[in-house]
Amino acid sequence: MTVSTIEAIIHAKIEDVWQLVTQLENSEWRSDIDRIDIIKEGKSFIEYTPTGYPTHFAVTKFQPPNFYSFTMNNDNMKGTWQGVMIAKGNCTQLKFTEEVYAKKIFLRPFVKFYLAKQQKQYVQDLKKYLEK
C-alpha cells in the first residue's frame, strides 16, 4: 500500500471549496478528467480520463463541510481517498490523503510518483477555479 498526502491553503471560503470538491455534476474545473457519471444519487460515481479510462468510486463518509472520503477502484489500482477541510477565516486548509494498492506488480515502483502528480494537479485545478 502506498500513501500520499498533500496539504494546501485555498484562498476561498470552506463552503465554496466543499461544494466544488463534492458537487460531482460540475467537473469542468478538473483538467485530469473528461466526465463523471453519477450513480446512486452521488453515493458512487465513475470518473473518465480524457482517454476514456474509468475509475469507480464509492463514498464512505460525507460530513459537510469538513470531511469527505471514498474508495476507488480500476484495473490498475484500488484504494481510499480522504479529504479534510478546515476553515481559516476566508481561506480553507486542505489535507488530502490517498492510500493505493497497485494491482499490477510492474506499476508498484511508480505509484508514489503518480499519486503525488495527480494530487498536485487536483489542488492546482482547485486553486485556479476558486481563486480567479
CB within 8 Å of 57: residues ≥ 6 apart: 44, 45, 46, 47, 70, 71, 72, 73
User: Average pLDDT, whole number, for the chain?
Assistant: 96
Task: Identify the structural domains of the chain with CATH numbers, from first to last.
Answer: 2-20+60-130 (3.30.530.20)
Is 34 in a helix, a strand, or coil? coil
Predicted structure pTM score: 0.94
Neighbours of 6 (CB within 10 A): 16
Q: What is the pLDDT of residues 54-67, one digit of tens each?
A: 999 999 999 999 99
